[in-house]
Amino acid sequence: MTAKRSKKCFPNVNIHTSNMYSNSADTLKRKCVIPVMCSMVIAAALTAAGCSPTIDASTASTMQDSIAYVRSTLDAADRKAFDTALRDLNDMLFNRTDAVSQATIGLYRPEALVRKILHRKNAFDVILMVEYHRRQHP
């Protein structure tokens, strides 16, 4: 009576113990191998997305060294765009005459402001940031 009752309440449950563990290896593969493979694919994609070197602006010397290294990893066209972006960033920060810009510069030492802006950014982040700022403030 108990077997019939459990069969009605749980139609997918196998009551016979001889077949209960026959597919345990396949179940283990589905439960363990597939999530591990998915996590490996995700990790590889994230690693490939973050391959470009970033600027370490924690100190002035490391900022100069890391800018030189980031610049050396770029091809000629990207290097030219990166150099232009750095020059334009300098012009935007320090050659402005409006009161807001002067007040912002007054809050920071110029070197510290540049370090704060460039820290942990790669070349393409700097290029896009300057292009965005150029579009917003012609």
Residue holding tokens 């139609």? 11
**Mean pLDDT highest for which of 27-36, 62-71, 85-94?**
62-71
Identify the three-state secondary structure at position 20: coil
Please tell me which residue, 31 or 59, carries the higher pLDDT value.
59
Which of 22-31, 32-41, 95-104 is predicted most confidently? 95-104
Please tell me whether residue 104 adopts helix, strand or coil conformation.
Answer: helix
pLDDT at residue number 22: 52
Q: Please classify residue 85 by burial: count the beta carbons closer than 10 Å to its beta carbon, then call 0-12 exposed, 13-18 middle and 19+ buried.
A: buried
pLDDT digits (tens, 9 = 90+) for 70-129: 999 999 999 999 999 999 998 887 776 666 666 666 666 777 888 999 999 999 999 999
Token pair of 25 as six digits: 């290896």
- Structural domain spans, the chain: 2-49, 60-136
Closest CA to 93 of 59, 66, 117: 117
